[in-house]
């Protein structure tokens, strides 16, 4: 991934410096753009390696580690980008609340960054596990998709702090049918689980991962239970199973897919040693409230380059909620461009000409009127 | 014209992340590679293959599609009216020409003409995280087109050109 794709060699320095918080797809895309304009860029990340979820969430079979590493090396060696890894930029929140905080040994405050740089971009992504909001979900043996996938990749960096979940000869239930649910199921199967079963409230035809991935998963030996939704995680000191209710399909909802209607009378219990709720993560940017980011939700489509704090910008999942690498890249590039425009105007005392509220419509994200609702794969 | 480089996507390595489309959109305004999701969940970035003997060039009633110096298929927007026939769109076996409703002319890939002029390669290829995109000559493409890649491409083409029942 050649993040500095706009140039073949770095230009002369323009004397300005930018701090990028988060070295995921949006942060690195922003870094590449700004470094290509002659900015001095410092990238901060809580993890021991740059790449974010492309390195620590998505399995290496899907994204080769080398692809990201080569792009990062080019930024570092040719474009003079400084990477400050294992460093978490803190807000008012406590540490170790998000997946992947384990590695941070150094804390820096946002105030420090804004003082030391001409501008800051927050590209912290979405790392906070989303809750199922059902009883028993805090029992040991229940994980979020990222809590399960992250240690598989991260254990290679520090096996003292992190171990992959031991699934050997265990029954694993995976809740959800997105791409990360498929990744969890395949990883569990590959690591020697006795049985892997995916639970989805709709059928395979509505599954966000697509029927092809469902088939791939089944070919690998996993099972899929359709039209069931969990209502309770069973167990006293550790998970022993999940209580599910049968669902049926109703009318199409806002996403164009038929909704799932639970039938509370038809309950059943499923045994499990490990439950993974791969139902997505949520964004938890530092200083969310102060920056006006506290209301950012999944699929909320709006565009905000600069936060309430002058010179502090935001991009990627931190802004839009969980999405796709491509959207994060685009968001990072747009925010970086906007940041550069703001700094240039500021240098001439023309800040009031800066417009920071370009509205993004669903048409901008997708390919416009040609695309049918069925073709929109954003879950 | 044989031997010229073009974009090749190994669909078996593509995860549908939309980075190619995003980078193209950022570089050109309207993307010329478009990620599409088929009903069964197959993700497919649709793009121009810059065919050696392109059907679209033959089909265009205005001669707005032309073969470039490096074998690429170029659209001259000033000549294209996004005409009523949409012959190019129908003629392309790969779904690589796009009607956007945002511009009069059709939109298609020019292999990043201005980037190539200064020695850079197509932007989408540079940024693909999966190593699924290549800017390669026909010999290299023949090697990249493994059985696995062919099977994946077949799934994609089945959606673009469904069998008529």
Query: Which of these, A249, A329, A371, A353, lies nearest to A26 by C-alpha position?
Result: A329
Residues of A with CB under 8 A from a CB of B: 1-3, 5-8, 25, 29, 54, 58, 62-64, 66-68, 179, 207-214, 324-327, 329-330, 333-334, 367-371, 374-377
Query: Can you list the positions of beta strands (E) in chain B?
Result: 6-9, 34-37, 43-46, 65-67, 73-75, 97-98, 107-108, 133-136
What is the CATH topology of the domain spanning A17-127+281-365? FAD/NAD(P)-binding domain (3.50.50)
What is the domain partition of chain A in residue ranges?
17-127+281-365, 133-277
Token pair listed for A276: 């993974």
**Neighboring chain A residues of B26 at a CB cutoff of 8 Å:** 330, 333-334
pLDDT 10s digits, B127-151? 999 999 999 999 999 999 999 999 9
Structure-token match 């930024």, residue found? A75
Please give the model's pTM, rounded to 2 decimal places. 0.90
More confident residue, A379 or A33: A33
Token pair listed for A324: 């796709």
Q: A210 and B41: CB-CB below 8 Å?
A: yes
In this predicted structure, the answer to whether residue A283 has a pLDDT above a threshold of 90 is: no
Domains, chain B, with CATH or none = 6-160 (3.30.70.20)
Nearest chain B residue to A330 by CA distance is B22
Nearest chain A residue to B11 by CA distance is A62
Q: A8 and B42: CB-CB below 8 Å?
A: no
Measured distance CA(A148)–CA(A278) in Å, rounded: 9
pLDDT band at A365 (very low <50, low <70, confident <90, very high): very low
pLDDT 10s digits, A21-42? 999 999 999 999 999 999 999 9
Q: Does A17-127+281-365 match A133-277 in CATH topology?
A: yes
Cβ–Cβ under 8 Å, residues A291 and A312: yes
- Strands B73-75 and B65-67, bridge-based pairing: antiparallel
Q: Which CATH architecture has domain A133-277?
A: 3-Layer(bba) Sandwich (3.50)
Please state the ipTM of this predicted complex.
0.94
pLDDT at B33: 97
The three-class DSSP label of residue A88 is strand
pLDDT 10s digits, A205-247? 999 999 989 999 999 999 999 999 999 999 999 999 999 999 9
């Amino acid at each position: 991934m050649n993040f500095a794709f706009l140039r073949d060699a770095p230009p002369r320095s323009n004397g300005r410096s930018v701090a990028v918080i988060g070295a995921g797809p949006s942060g690195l895309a922003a870094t590449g753009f700004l470094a290509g304009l002659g900015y001095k860029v410092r990238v901060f990340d809580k993890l021991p390696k740059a790449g974010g979820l492309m390195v620590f969430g998505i399995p290496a079979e899907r994204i080769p580690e080398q692809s990201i590493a080569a792009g990062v090396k080019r930024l570092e060696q040719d474009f003079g980008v400084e990477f400050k890894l294992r460093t978490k930029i803190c807000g008012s929140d406590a540490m170790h609340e998000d997946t992947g905080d384990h590695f941070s040994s150094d804390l820096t405050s946002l105030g420090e960054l804004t003082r030391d740089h001409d501008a800051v971009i927050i590209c912290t992504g979405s790392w906070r596990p989303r809750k199922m909001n059902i009883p028993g979900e805090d029992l040991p043996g229940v994980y979020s998709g990222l809590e399960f996938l992250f240690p598989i990749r991260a254990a290679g960096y520090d096996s003292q702090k992190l171990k992959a979940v031991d699934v050997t000869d265990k029954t694993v239930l995976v809740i959800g049918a997105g791409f990360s649910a498929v990744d969890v199921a395949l990883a569990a199967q590959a690591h020697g689980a006795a049985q892997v079963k995916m639970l989805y409230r709709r059928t395979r035809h509505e599954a966000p991962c697509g029927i092809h991935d469902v088939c791939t998963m089944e070919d690998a030996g996993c099972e899929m239970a359709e039209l069931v939704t969990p209502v309770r995680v069973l167990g006293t000191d550790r998970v022993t199973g999940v209580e599910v209710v049968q669902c049926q399909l109703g009318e199409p909802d806002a996403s164009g897919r038929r909704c799932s209607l639970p039938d509370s009378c038809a309950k059943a219990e499923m045994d499990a040693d490990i439950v993974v709720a791969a139902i997505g993560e949520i964004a938890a940017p530092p200083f969310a409230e102060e920056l006006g980011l506290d209301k950012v939700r999944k699929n909320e489509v709006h565009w905000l380059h600069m936060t309430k704090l002058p010179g502090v910008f935001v991009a990627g999942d931190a802004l839009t909620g969980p999405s796709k690498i491509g959207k994060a890249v685009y968001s990072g590039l747009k925010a970086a461009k906007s940041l550069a425009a703001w700094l240039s105007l500021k240098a001439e005392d023309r800040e009031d000409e800066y417009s920071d509220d370009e509205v993004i419509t669903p048409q901008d994200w997708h390919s416009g009127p040609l695309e049918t609702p069925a073709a929109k794969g954003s879950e | 014209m044989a031997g010229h480089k073009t974009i090749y996507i190994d669909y078996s390595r593509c995860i549908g992340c939309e980075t190619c489309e995003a980078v193209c959109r950022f570089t050109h305004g309207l993307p010329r590679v478009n990620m599409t999701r088929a009903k069964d969940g197959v993700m497919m970035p649709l793009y121009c293959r810059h065919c050696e003997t392109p059907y679209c060039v033959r089909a265009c009633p205005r001669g707005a599609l032309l073969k470039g110096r490096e074998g690429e298929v170029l659209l001259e927007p000033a000549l294209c009216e996004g005409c009523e026939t949409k012959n190019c769109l129908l003629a392309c076996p790969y779904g690589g020409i796009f009607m956007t409703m945002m511009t009069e002319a059709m939109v298609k890939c020019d292999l990043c003409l201005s980037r190539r002029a200064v020695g850079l390669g197509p932007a989408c290829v540079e940024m693909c995280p999966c190593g699924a995109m290549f800017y390669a000559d026909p010999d290299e493409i023949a090697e990249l087109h493994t059985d696995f890649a062919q099977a994946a491409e077949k799934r994609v083409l089945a959606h673009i050109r469904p069998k008529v029942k």
